[in-house]
Amino acid sequence: MSLNKYGDSAEQWKVDLIVRRARFFGFGQEDIQDIQQELVLKLMTFNFDVEKSNGAQETTVLQGVVDNELKMRLRVQKRRDDHIEALRWMTNLSDNPSKALLPIDIKKAMLYLPDKQRQICIALSKGHSTGAIAHALRVDQRTIQRHIRKIRAYFMSLNLHQWLAQ
C-alpha cells in the first residue's frame, strides 16, 4: 500500500491499516499523510492486551482505535466548517444592506441554531415553501414542520416573536 517510512518503529500492516481506513473515511492523500504521522505515534504507544480484548484480534482493536481517531478528526473538521459557514453567513448579511437591517438579536440567534435549522430559516426568509425546503434537504415535509416549530419556540424564548410569521 504505502512505503513504511517508520522502519522498525511501526509494523507495515499497521501503517497500511491507517491508510486504508483514512481512504475509507474519504480523506485525501495530503490529509492521509498527516493522519499517518499522528496515528503511527499513537499506535506506537498502544499496547494490545489479549485479556482486555474480549476475544477480539489485534487488528480489530486497532481498527477501532484508528476509526475513533478518524471520526474525531471529521467532527473537528465539521465544527470548523460550520463555524466558517456561520461567519460567511454573517459577512453576507453585512454585505447585503437589506439583510443587514435584521437586528443583531436575530443574527445572534441564527448563529446558535443547528445547521439544518439555520438552512430552513434562510430558505423561509427567501420565500421557499416547506415542500420545496423538504425536497432540497431530502427530508420529509413533516420533519421541516417539526424544525419550524422548534425554531419558533427558540425565537419565542428569546423574545423575538415580532420576527415570526403568523
What does the domain layout of the chain look like in residue ranges? Answer: 1-101, 102-163
CA distances from 57 to 61, 67, 138 (A): 6, 16, 40
Radius of gyration of the chain from its Cα atoms, rounded to whole angstroms: 23
CA 135, chain centre distance (Å): 22
CB-based contact 154:109 (threshold 8 Å)? yes
- Predicted local confidence at residue 93, as pLDDT: 54
Domain 102-163, CATH number (from 1.10.1200, 3.30.70, 1.10.10, 3.30.160): 1.10.10
- Predicted local confidence at residue 165, as pLDDT: 65
109, 115, 153: which is closest to 137 by C-alpha? 115
Question: What's the pTM?
Answer: 0.51
CA distances from 61 to 113, 123, 148, 159 (A): 37, 44, 43, 51
* Per-residue confidence band for 80, with pLDDT thresholds at 50, 70 and 90: confident
For residue 1, is pLDDT > 50? no
- Predicted local confidence at residue 95, as pLDDT: 58
Rounded CA-CA distance 102/104 in Å is 6
Structure-derived torsion over alpha carbons of residues 71, 74, 76, 82, reported in degrees to the nearest 10: -140
* Per-residue confidence band for 105, with pLDDT thresholds at 50, 70 and 90: confident
For residue 107, is pLDDT > 60? yes
Residue whose cell numbers read 517510512:
5
- Predicted local confidence at residue 61, as pLDDT: 84
Rounded CA-CA distance 155/135 in Å is 25
